[in-house]
Amino acid sequence: MLETLKKYWGYDAFRPKQEEIISEALAGRDVLALMPTGGGKSICFQVPAMMKPGICIVVSPLIALMKDQVENLRKRGIPALLVCAGMTYREIDATLDNAVYGDYKFLYVSPERLRTELFAVRAAKMNINYLVVDEAHCISQWGYDFRPEYLKIAEIRDKISGTAFEKRPPVIALTATATQDVAQDIMERLDFERPNLLVSGFERPNLSYSARQCENKLGQLLKICNGVQGSGIVYVSRRRTAEEVTAFLASQGVDAATYHAGMSGKVRAAVQDAWKKGQKRIIVSTNAFGMGIDKSDVRFVCHYDMPQSPEAYFQEAGRAGRDGKKSYALLIWNGTDVKRLRQILQTTFPPLDFMKDIYQKVHNFLQIPYETGEGKGYKFDLAAFAKQYKLQAAKAYYAIKYIEMSGYWNLTEELDIPSKMSIAVTRDELYHVQMKSAEMDSFLQLLMRMYEGLYSGYVTIDEERIAAVGKYSVLAVEKKLKVLSARHIIRYIPKVKSPVLYLATERLYPDNLRLDKAEYDFRVGRAKARIDAMIEYAALTDRCRSQYLVDYFGQKSNPCGVCDNCISKKK
């Protein structure tokens, strides 16, 4: 184990619990690893996967995190693949072929891809050593982030095989946020041969928790940014707030940058890279930022808006102080936050009749007839949808997300969907087209040299790369592609930034749509309990904050001695 760790990752020793989790996996036992943010979860499956023959399938709902991990593995010389939203059928087909016949060690896949026939057929041919389930709390309806497509993972277990073990490949499930009820539910739903829960200590002795009730949040935040030296993250609930807070901090001489899903992928990547390298000190972000970010020297995480659950708060606050040095997790709150969370509960769970109506309106908006659409993905513009039907966008969004939890569809995070093209004419026809224009002839030759399979179907292309190779401006490349498309020589789909709605079932008639009242009441109750716990945490004055959070996750701990309440008690 240590030899593999040293060879590929350069570490001389494991972090707490990593070695024990890896040993269980190498012995062929199913294992659920409950580790706090920054505990090194990826090492727990990557090391054993490298030590066994075959390919490791990693299921994760976070596309940005998957891309980041695949990139990091490739940098270490470990061949890894990724199948996720935004890829064409042809690209997915080729990637899965590589997973079957190529010398690859990891295949990262988003959960909605698991239930496709294409994946099931290929997975049966793969030599799989482990099935890894990241963010495993998503499989539990008791959890705060339930994803119905995760329920298909147990079915996949029975369809896959491998030679690394005499039985079906073991499961390595990982999460940073699971209460005891959720942990038990995870193991049952993943069909563990026997319960096997390994918990890394949730206490963070170097992390000081504080909550400050105040009306002037901007003033308080400025004090924090000026009072704590080093790198920091400020979490807010809305994109607009992120931009406003960044502008305020910048006006006060604080080196801060904005990060949220509404920005282009390249801008987000540039901001993230500058922050990781220390060129930007503070990131002001929605919760889109931070998953899997490998930066250990974050000195503080400040929540400018109160999160909706202790699970979310614990995970986000835990991004501070991964290097073991003194760090701070701060929450700024007031009565407006409490009121907002109570209102969110009402918005998050619209009436069932409203949601049934939204189900039909979405299909009408996408022009999908009854009894069709199953397994297909559609670009979905929420703002245009809400405008067309005169709906409150937030209420419509949560109705769509609730229907997702009921298993009828899956709305992805906002994606940068790359441009695609194919050649629409035969080779003979193309020859005549090329001969009429030397400039277009040169351009088409360039495209065919850079991209194979343009006659067979859509291929993902990159206008910037074409421009660099052909010595054009990006604008000129886009113009040429549009001209060729207008002349019906090629089919060209320009890149877009959009969520994608994947339909798990055909469009149902109103009488066949089932949204269970008892299940609805259960989910409302669970969400209310989490909000109540978050508000209770913020208002604590007579109890250790670290102890409160650790107890929430079903563990026992002693007072930390370094949170604001412990320090007040000492004084």
For 8, the 3-state DSSP assignment is helix
Backbone angles phi, psi at 552, to 5 degrees: -60, -35
Q: Write out residues in the chain with pLDDT < 50, as ranges.
A: none
Residue of 275, 277, 339, 328 lying closest to 303 (CA atoms): 328
At residue 202, the pLDDT reads 80
Pairing of the two strands 490-493 and 459-461: unpaired
How much is the pLDDT for 548?
Answer: 95
φ/ψ bin of 17: left (φ > 0), alpha (ψ from -120 to 50), beta (otherwise): left
Beta strand 327-333 pairing with 207-213: parallel
Convert 388-409 to b/e letters by CB count within 10 Å (16 or more is b): eeebeeebbbbbbebbbebebb
Position 435 scores a pLDDT of 58
pLDDT of residue 305: 96
Contacts of 202 (CB under 8 A, 6+ apart): 36, 314, 549, 550, 553, 555, 557
This prediction has a pTM of 0.79
Class of the 2-199 domain? alpha beta
CB 386: neighbour CB atoms within 10 A?
18
The yes or no reply on domain 342-416+498-525 and CATH 1.25.40.10 is no
Confirm if 459 and 436 have CB atoms less than 8 A apart. no
| Rounded distance between C-alpha atoms, residue 356 and residue 352, angstroms | 6
Tell me which residue has tokens 């080093």.
230
Rounded to an integer, what distance in angstroms lies between the CA atom of residue 560 and that of residue 262? 38
Single-letter residue type at 136: A
First to last CA, the chain: 47
d(CA 297, CA 404): 37
Superfamily of domain 209-333 in CATH is: P-loop containing nucleotide triphosphate hydrolases (3.40.50.300)
